[in-house]
Amino acid sequence: MKFLPLAISALALALTACGAPDDTRAQDSVFEPAAERAVPRDAAEVKASFAPVVRSTAPAVVNISARGVQTYRDPYWGQFRQQPTGSVGSGVIVRADGIVVTNTHVIQGMDEIIVALNDRRQFTATVLLADERSDIAVLQLEGVEEPLPVLRIDAGEDQQIGDLVLAIGNPFGVGQTVTNGIISALNRTETGISDSGSFIQTDAAINPGNSGGALVDMDGDLIGINTAIFSRSGSSSGVGFAVPATMVQRVVDAALDGETSVVRPWLGVKGEPLTAEEATRLGLDRPRGLKVTDLFDSGPAAQAGIRAGDVIVAVGGNEINDQGGLNFRVGTRAPGDTVAITLLRDGREQRVNARVQPLPGEVNLEAAVVIREGALAGAQVLALNPAIADRLLGDPFAEGVIVTQAPRNSMAFAQGFRNSDIVLSVNDRGVTTANALSGLQRGNRVEILRRGQRLNGTMR
């Protein structure tokens, strides 16, 4: 089974696989009573309900075509060449002056973006903000002279499994298409799509080209942006995922505030899901919550009194079952917000308030330095801080010095170092600065982390 982004590439329809569906989790909140839903009484009522929703929502869903130039290395001659590339996707107008939301992977690396409305009008667009972590990009249409149709972003998260939804987009580039289905799951995490994502799953038919399109409810509100499918064939198999409106709103707000990136706060905890055995030992009726295994010194969680061994079961009333769910719930908040944390300690439920903050450190990739002497000569390295570790590795707790480049003709490459290796220690001493790697000689013992595996070696 493959995870497929939904943009259509000019080079191929099937894109890279990124995850396995068997690892997904659903976190269905039990903290708030469910609102009542009325089931359609007959086929005529269902048919009558869709048409008004489509009429009110479809004009705000747009088609996006993007063009750019791709640089590649000729495998025969070894020379760098360029060729035209492009993608086709969808988008949603969320503000009448031409603010459009789509997926980052639809427009990433593209030089020209053309947005076509439902009524065939076309506009060029510029990128205000493209957030890779959420795969949400915000565009500004140029030359808008009159108010455009919009979809209201419903970030209230009052959806329920089984609710009827419509998916609107541009599958396979054939033109605007509407499909219907239900919400199959909420708060889907560990999908392989994002380490900080919590997705709406739907069985509404969505296909390549639907990327950036709208997932709307029966009130005609935008509840998600369609972003990916699981498929063996590359076509819809009834397992599609949408970025929830709460994250969409967070990215839109950042773009309209003039930010160039989305600053995600953190709680400063690392944990693992509670096992069935641990749940039984704690007297729980079922496995739920995230057991805290590590805390960042002086981080928001530590300051709020959270300890290692505590089990976080909710953030702001939303149930938490894994690290991805925690990252999402905290990441949708603004830095400085105070959030209510519900946890279990010694078998008792407690509530604490934590003031979430941006990750410590600056993300300055230009601060990487080149080692001039010793076994690592020629390598470009960068000391990790939580902000850099989160950006490069998705793990703000990662420590050490990362090798950002190890050229093939360098001494470092000859010694076996590769791009993205993390040097953890030299002669059993932890490494935290680039200077600690300068002048390494034969016989020095080095421990590195490569793709999650610890490796030990001796300089030769």
The stretch 240-248 carries a mean pLDDT of 92
Partners of residue 26 on adjacent β-strands: 188
Burial of 146: CB neighbours in 10 Å, binned 0-12, 13-18, 19+: exposed
The stretch 30-55 carries a mean pLDDT of 66
Residues 322/290, Cβ–Cβ less than 8 Å = yes
The stretch 179-190 carries a mean pLDDT of 87
Burial of 238: CB neighbours in 10 Å, binned 0-12, 13-18, 19+: middle
pLDDT at position 284, please? 83
Share of the chain above pLDDT 70, in %: 85
pLDDT, greater one: 24 or 356? 356
The stretch 40-65 carries a mean pLDDT of 81
Count of positions (residues) in the chain: 460
Structure tokens at 262: 């989305």
Residues 328/196, Cβ–Cβ less than 8 Å = yes
The catalytic residues are 105, 135, 211
The stretch 248-260 carries a mean pLDDT of 93
Residues 209/169, Cβ–Cβ less than 8 Å = yes
pLDDT at position 207, please? 84
pLDDT at position 5, please? 65
pLDDT band (50, 70, 90) for residue 17:
very low
Instruction: Tell how strand 265-266 and strand 240-244 pair up.
Output: unpaired
pLDDT band (50, 70, 90) for residue 443:
confident
Cα–Cα dist 441/428, whole Å: 15
Share of the chain above pLDDT 90, in %: 48
With a cut of 90, say whether residue 280 has pLDDT above it: no
With a cut of 60, say whether residue 12 has pLDDT above it: no
pLDDT at position 435, please? 87
pLDDT at position 37, please? 63
Mean pLDDT in the chain?
A: 85
Residues 56/209, Cβ–Cβ less than 8 Å = no
Cα–Cα dist 38/213, whole Å: 26
Q: Where are the alpha helices (DSSP H) in 101-174?
A: 104-107
Tokens 């850099």 sit at which residue? Answer: 388
329-341 pLDDT tens trace: 998 888 899 999 9
With a cut of 90, say whether residue 117 has pLDDT above it: yes
Coil, helix or strand for 389?
helix
Cα–Cα dist 89/65, whole Å: 6
Cα–Cα dist 278/200, whole Å: 29
pLDDT, greater one: 333 or 14? 333
The stretch 298-310 carries a mean pLDDT of 93
Residues 265/358, Cβ–Cβ less than 8 Å = yes
With a cut of 70, say whether residue 100 has pLDDT above it: yes
Number of C-beta neighbours around residue 56 at 10 A? 15
CATH 2.30.42.10 residue ranges for the chain: 265-358, 365-458
Give kind and range of the element (H or E) at residue 252.
Answer: helix 245-256
Phi, psi of 150 (to 5 degrees): -130, 160
Give kind and range of the element (H or E) at residue 290.
Answer: strand 290-295
With a cut of 60, say whether residue 347 has pLDDT above it: yes
Cα–Cα dist 291/293, whole Å: 6
pLDDT, greater one: 295 or 80? 295
The stretch 335-357 carries a mean pLDDT of 92
The stretch 359-368 carries a mean pLDDT of 86
Tokens 């048409």 sit at which residue? Answer: 51
Longest dimension (CA), the chain: 80
pLDDT at position 35, please? 59
pLDDT, greater one: 35 or 397? 397
pLDDT at position 305, please? 93
With a cut of 70, say whether residue 56 has pLDDT above it: yes
Please state which CATH number belongs to domain 365-458.
2.30.42.10
pLDDT at position 193, please? 67
Least confident interval from 160-169, 232-241, 408-417, 421-430: 232-241
Partners of residue 181 on adjacent β-strands: 165
Cα–Cα dist 185/161, whole Å: 6
The stretch 130-142 carries a mean pLDDT of 94
Q: For domain 265-358, give its CATH number from 2.130.10.10, 3.30.1330.60, 2.30.42.10, 3.20.20.70.
A: 2.30.42.10
Please state which CATH number belongs to domain 1-32+40-262.
2.40.10.120
- For residue 40, CA distances in Å to 33, 163, 180, 239 come to 22, 11, 14, 23
450-460 pLDDT tens trace: 988 899 988 88
Residues 399/436, Cβ–Cβ less than 8 Å = no
pLDDT at position 354, please? 94
Rg of the chain over Cα atoms, rounded to whole angstroms, equals 24
With a cut of 50, say whether residue 14 has pLDDT above it: no
With a cut of 50, say whether residue 15 has pLDDT above it: no
Query: How big is the CA angle at 236 (ends 231 and 241), to the nearest 5 degrees?
Result: 80
Least confident interval from 47-56, 301-310, 333-342: 47-56
Nearest to 83 by CA among 93, 73, 69: 69
Residues 230/21, Cβ–Cβ less than 8 Å = yes
Q: What is the DSSP string of 23-58?
A: G-EE----SSPPPP-PPP-SHHHHHHHHHHHHHHHG
Nearest to 273 by CA among 295, 288, 284, 259: 288
Query: Sign (positive/negative) of CA torsion 435, 437, 442, 447?
Result: positive
**Beta strand segments in 145-239, E:** 164-169, 177-189, 199-202, 214-216, 222-231
Cα–Cα dist 70/109, whole Å: 8
